Amino acid sequence: MFKMKKAMLQALLFSAFAVVSPLQAIADETPIIRYADRFVPIIAKNGMVASQEAIATKVGVDILKQGGNAVDAAVAVGFALAVTFPQAGNIGGGGFMMVHLAKDNKTIAIDYREMAPAAAHRDLYLDENGDVDNRRARFSHQSAGVPGTVAGLIHALENYGTMTLKQVIAPAVALAEDGFTLAYSLESSLLARKERLSRNPAAKKALFKPDGSHYQFGETLKQPDLAQTLKAIRDKGFDGFYKGSVADLIVKEMKANDGLITHKDLENYKVVEREAIKGSYKGYDVLTMPPPSSGGVHIVQMMNMLENDNLKDLGHNSAASLHLMIEAMRQAYADRSEYLGDPDYFDVPIKELIDKKYAAKLRTQIPNKKARKSEEVKPALDVTPESPDTTHFSVMDNEGNAVSNTYTLNFSYGSHIMVSGAGFLLNNEMDDFSAKVGVANAYGLLGAEANAIEAGKRPLSSMTPTLVLKDGKAFMATGSPGGSTIITVVLQVLMNALEHEMNVAAATYAPRIHHQWYPDRILVEPGISADTKALLEAWGHNLDNRRRTIGSTQSIQFRDGFFYGASDSRRHGALTLGY
Ligand code: DON
């Protein structure tokens, strides 16, 4: 009887949604698409791209359809977003890319984070009273680190792609030169930043109409200067940006405005391949970004702390499971403040931080049903270390390759300063350094020696592009923008998928929380129940219920022969698409 019902139900479902493949999953009774899930992911058979901007996603899918691999598509998306998503898509910023290559069964972590110019030094942003000058750190030419994006994308393509730079950058060149149609997301974003962007003549000219008004939904935005810069990159590769006419424009801009970046800084920019942080969680391998990102280390540290508690039984987003997650977050961000920085300048105790024994010790310090005060929680390693609007996209292809990439200008539109004549915005990533011990950066993050400013050093980041492998094969790619919240957002999406066995859409849309040690309060998204919040408060947690959302993930899973993807529902304009 039951069997018959199941067969009838399947037949009915198949006829209703002939092209929709979750049915296969239902038929196989995999937990990926369950009858109880209120959200279903996008599903495809041959490959998938998830990004914050629809045109860029389509560019990536086109590259896959042309036979490009996940890296080819990712690089094309990276350049396209620099045109269609100027808030965070960039060639004037930097980021991190995780690549899994199926053929070699190898996972690579590409660091193309900005580097501090040679003239930068520890007290760069202190004024005559020794206070941090936030304007200079965040909204001046001195806010910019030497951009890494162009070098990083080219490095990925040359080493792990199959197509030419000319092929993968072509869509971006066309989008800049011929223009593209504005969606609501860009109209509203430009309008929100009109005042500050318009203070910079080059940004005003490039991103607003000649009369100074903003482009609107359905209108076409062309960016001729950016098209020229992209063509220089297309024709000369690394040298097209870091040397020659584009470099001249950057240096001219710097010289005229008290900026620090020189020709030498540009020529000296280096991409670094680093050993991926590798953790394990209940049979999954979690491969994620090492320092100078703090994300990977702390994701693994927190997952280690949570692994033995059976959060699934405690209940998703129940007070009991949130309590454990909050306390894990509190500890991780305390450790971050002390131990994390650029590993080329500071001996980051990675092995110790991701050791399961360290996590077990930390777990014993979490009281039952009682919040700790952040002042009681200190960086806790036994060893004393020696020595002194971001955006994410994920791509998977039909060969089993996966890319997880997060890159940024730091703030939305970075410093809001455009290189005159070159058409791209400069990052304000220098603010991710700790300008002064005990003084928080724009995300409220504290830091010390490990993340002090030094020439050539890379500022500590929270960006956490992450890949999950199952039995050695790419299972999931995810990541998010959101400054300091990135790490906890990625943690929750991973826990939702791996621990709570939610499908990738349900894992994405579920309400989130965030704690970062200081300030000692928990951001709570709408959707966490009043009962749960009341319990957490009764246990001493300090909740901040101001209405806001946290993060914007772009995730793909591969399972049982299908790609399952979801763009976050929290921000407009994103698209997950497969074929
Ligand atoms: O690297 C970091 O951690 C920051 N610069 C990221 C900034 C960010 O995510 C802004 N986006 N919402």
pLDDT tens column, 36-88: 578 889 999 999 999 999 999 999 999 999 999 999 999 999 999 999 999 99
Give the model's pLDDT for residue 546.
82
Kindly state the tokens that stand for 282. 């209940």
Catalytic residue among 107, 149, 390, 553: 390
502 within 8 A of 496, measured Cβ to Cβ? yes
CA R_g for the chain:
23
Atom number of ligand 1 nearest to Cα 429: 5
For ligand 1, atom 8, name the residue with the nearest CA. 483
Give the model's pLDDT for residue 383.
62
367 CA → ligand 1 middle, Å: 32
Buried b / exposed e across 414-424, counting CB within 10 Å, b at 16+?
bbbbbbbbbbb
For ligand 1, atom 1, name the residue with the nearest CA. 461
For ligand 1, atom 6, name the residue with the nearest CA. 483
478 within 8 A of 555, measured Cβ to Cβ? yes
Give the model's pLDDT for residue 19.
36
437 CA → ligand 1 middle, Å: 20
121 CA → ligand 1 middle, Å: 22
Kindly report, residue by residue over 189-198, the tens digit of the pLDDT: 999 999 999 9
Parts of the chain with a pLDDT under 50 = 1-31, 385-388
pTM of the model: 0.92
Give the model's pLDDT for residue 34.
54
d(CA 168, CA 153): 10
d(CA 237, CA 223): 20
Give the model's pLDDT for residue 53.
98
Give the model's pLDDT for residue 547.
75
- 10 Å CB burial of residue 13 (0-12, 13-18, 19+) is middle
Give the model's pLDDT for residue 32.
52
For ligand 1, atom 11, name the residue with the nearest CA. 389
Kindly report, residue by residue over 379-425, the tens digit of the pLDDT: 989 765 444 489 999 999 999 999 999 999 999 999 999 999 999 99
Which residues pair with residue 42 across a beta bridge? 565
Domains of the chain: residue spans and CATH: 2-33 (no CATH), 93-273+410-451 (no CATH), 274-388+462-555 (1.10.246.130)
Give the model's pLDDT for residue 10.
43
289 within 8 A of 340, measured Cβ to Cβ? no
Give the model's pLDDT for residue 57.
98
484 CA → ligand 1 middle, Å: 7
Task: Return left, alpha or beta for 130; rule: phi > 0 is left, psi -120 to 50 is alpha, else beta.
Answer: left
3-state SS class at 356: helix
Atom number of ligand 1 nearest to Cα 485: 9
3-state SS class at 475: strand
Residue 390 annotated to the active site? yes
Kindly report, residue by residue over 422-452, the tens digit of the pLDDT: 999 999 999 999 999 888 888 888 888 899 9
